[in-house]
Structure 1
């Protein structure tokens, strides 16, 4: 991923690709004060495509180009809940490829609309489990096979995803903290961000605790805690959680796991907005709430790093709309003088 490294010293990057990565760590003051720990968020919403998925998208394209699979004028096909597709479409525009995205129709209108605005060919499909051949990920793989000159990005099981984070996100966090951190906390959909960073940090210091955050409705919490893939409840968060262990997650170190429900995730993202000025997406609520729980488990005086994946702009009609929330039995948090996270 070294594209951004040369540019960082001069302030000039090589195109869109060169602007991917190099994001700051943001100290979350209110939550750090609440826990007595230092809670830091990697500001991945500051990537040029607006999310952490820019890194995976770039890594996947670079490896496909290097192997000769992806040729000039080719097509990139992917099944995505949104952000990887957005990153891929930006990069395909910049590198001269077509982009075809298969997305579950349950995803936010903002993300689907943005993909179309960016110029992707977008196919919305019913949301069905991975075990169903019509699942969006499996369908995207078949479309890639049938399309001349196409490559399947396959973000869930293509290890270029976690290699991108092993090669960039992990080293950045290590450098930015001066090698002084006690825990890495992240939710996982594909497994790329969590696993790539966890593998890198454990190599630098085996004492760093790697904590998997998971929403309700995902089977990964039970897998991490007792080895069985079983899910409980459901969640409004998009793009994280899974019913299976992906190739990217396979073999990644997991020292602990935290399950976060929707009311807690909502209180967290509203708290980040009102107390930190950060307008964040739903998976950030899972990540930051799990970082707070990890701080409680470790006790005061520790430094914990998590991911601020994307902005709330992609979820305004859902997470920030009281009627949409009420329709799902959830209450919109109200602004008060007290901390939202008890």
Structure 2
């Protein structure tokens, strides 16, 4: 009879290796992963495997191309293989919920999950994207508590940002979205935030440029959580006039490729002091998941150096 194995990721000694590695495997290695489709473009394995190696943790992070059709079997595999957990990305963030045992507060409010933790067969869903955005600001001395935020978008990045900001003490969040397939999600986000938190949330039409301009001028933070600025829209920005910004505000773009987006260029021309791309959010959301799986802090400065080389 096989010995029972603990699915905690334990420390190990990595011998005969100079510097970090991404493939330390033995009979005690614990598996975590990412389930999404498509998936080959992801930087998550680089991030997590180098963090495991740096901290001497006996874990491995692999990617699995899983769509909605394969999802039920994939979730069963987490239990069957005693994986420590998995990240979940599109198109599975909402579809995965019925297969889980529990959800944290943020996932309940977002109606989406990006991280699964397996505690000996009990699967709990978390959403770390919004925490990643918040932690990336906190790391540079910025906070959302008591602040007015204008947020563009209501999709997979925007929703957890709005929810996490509201749970973290934001005074007001003004969500701007096109009258498209995400409009209903924007309305739902506002309704949830107003019911569940003390933050005041409102929804606005992004097509109303005067309303959009006025909101940004009155805000402490502007965050673009749309795909504008990312390939093939890398030459575009929702705000092309530097006069819309004031220098003491925060301007945040969730896009990280390219590293400097058109929005960031416009904010620089306006003299904005605090400008961020999405690389910090990406690393910090991964760090939040890493902490849930391992109980340890990801060495984010070290991971930042590696990611800057990719």
State TM-score, norm by structure 1: 0.33
Specify which structure has the bigger relative contact order, considering alpha-carbon pairs within 8 angstroms and separated by 6 or more residues: 1
